[in-house]
Structure 1
Amino acid sequence: MNSSDLAAFIAANGAAAEIIRTADHTPTVEAAAQALGVHVDQIVKSILLLADDSPVLVIANGTARVDLKRVADHLGLPRKRVKMADANAVLNLAGYAVGSMPPFGHKTQLRALIDSRAFEQSEVFAGGGEINAMLRIAPDEILRIVGGEKVEVTQNGS
């Protein structure tokens, strides 16, 4: 899948979002923020986890570290049963490559947890489906579209 698929999803779901092309690949939060001319706290990441082999998408500020223990506690599971999905699982379940994954429009319906810190910004930028594309959107719009849960899943102070 790519940014064209994401654009079709945005149109079909009436999402208030825009795909922005960047001149270069933005492999880090800092590079993405610099390319877009925004603060690093406005960049969010979409991370796919496996909880008892069921996919769970975590959307969090790009500079924050996802706390797998907090995720496990929220899901009612022991920490050892929650792990990061590998690149193949991400591609198979979401349809997007690691590093370009948007917060929605995936191949598979994913349960989504959105870290509460993401809501500190009125506008954020997420993966846009390709390495040179970013998605501009409000955190509340992500929540509306994914039907996710607003929770605290990042480490304190991160």
Structure 2
Amino acid sequence: MSIAAVRDYFAQFGMADNVLEFSTSSATVELAAQAAGVIPARIAKSLSFKVDGKAILIITAGDAKVDNAKFKNAFHTKAKMLTPEEVVDLVGHAVGGVCPFAIKEDVAVYLDCSMKRFPSVFPAAGSANSAIELTCDQLEQYAQNVQGWGDFCKGWQAED
């Protein structure tokens, strides 16, 4: 998949022109924040895991880290990230451009509550130099296969 696939995906919502393409890399949280002109926490990073032999995505704020205990409690298995090759095969996007749009049909998407503190977030859009600005409500509306919101992360709250 690619930025073109993500643009095509957003065309059905009249939002294809909202996809941002940067002249520099946005493949990491830090680079994406620089490209978008926002703090790193507002980058909605997509983390890929394998659960019961299938890929899942957890979309979380850029400053959050998956909490192994919370992950195991939610998914009844240890957190095992996909390899870069598995991400392409099972999700449909390459690392650096992974997002919950224009993905393979059987990929479940979970949204982490760490993003809800911001008026908008910036998930990638299928390439290592793209993003789209969305409110959390829009992210929930437009992401594919959303299973709901959860608390899967640590490191973003003062008390963590």
* CA 15–44 in structure 1, closer or farther in 2 if over 3 Å, else same: farther
Q: 1:114-147 deviations in whole A, cap 9, x for unaligned? A: 1101111121111111111112211211212333
Instruction: Quote the Cα distance in structure 2 between the aligned partners of 1:35 and 1:3.
Output: 16
Instruction: Quote the Cα distance in structure 1 between the aligned partners of 2:86 and 2:119.
Output: 31
TM-score of the aligned structures, taking structure 2 as reference length: 0.87
1:108 Cα offset (Å)? 3.1
Instruction: Quote the Cα distance in structure 1 between the aligned partners of 2:148 and 2:22.
Output: 30
Q: 1:88-118 deviations in whole A, cap 9, x for unaligned? A: 1110111110111122220233211111011
Instruction: Quote the Cα distance in structure 2 between the aligned partners of 1:93 and 1:41.
Output: 27
Deviates more, 1:58-67 or 1:139-148: 139-148
Q: Where does structure 1 lack aligned partners over 5 or more consecutive residues?
A: none
Q: Which residue of 2 aligns with 1:149?
A: 148
Maintained 8 Å contact 1:3/1:133: yes
Give the residue type in structure 1 aligned to 2:153: T
Q: Where does structure 2 lack aligned partners over 5 or more consecutive residues?
A: none
Q: Which residue of 1 aligns with 2:5?
A: 5
- Percent of paired sites with the same residue: 25
Instruction: Quote the Cα distance in structure 1 between the aligned partners of 2:62 and 2:137.
Output: 17
Q: Which residue of 1 aligns with 2:69?
A: 69
Give the residue type in structure 2 aligned to 1:136: E
Runs ≥4 in structure 1, deviation > 6 angstroms? none
Instruction: Quote the Cα distance in structure 2 between the aligned partners of 1:56 and 1:15.
Output: 27
Is the aligned partner of 1:33 residue 2:30?
A: no
Deviates more, 1:34-43 or 1:83-92: 34-43
Is the aligned partner of 1:83 residue 2:80?
A: yes
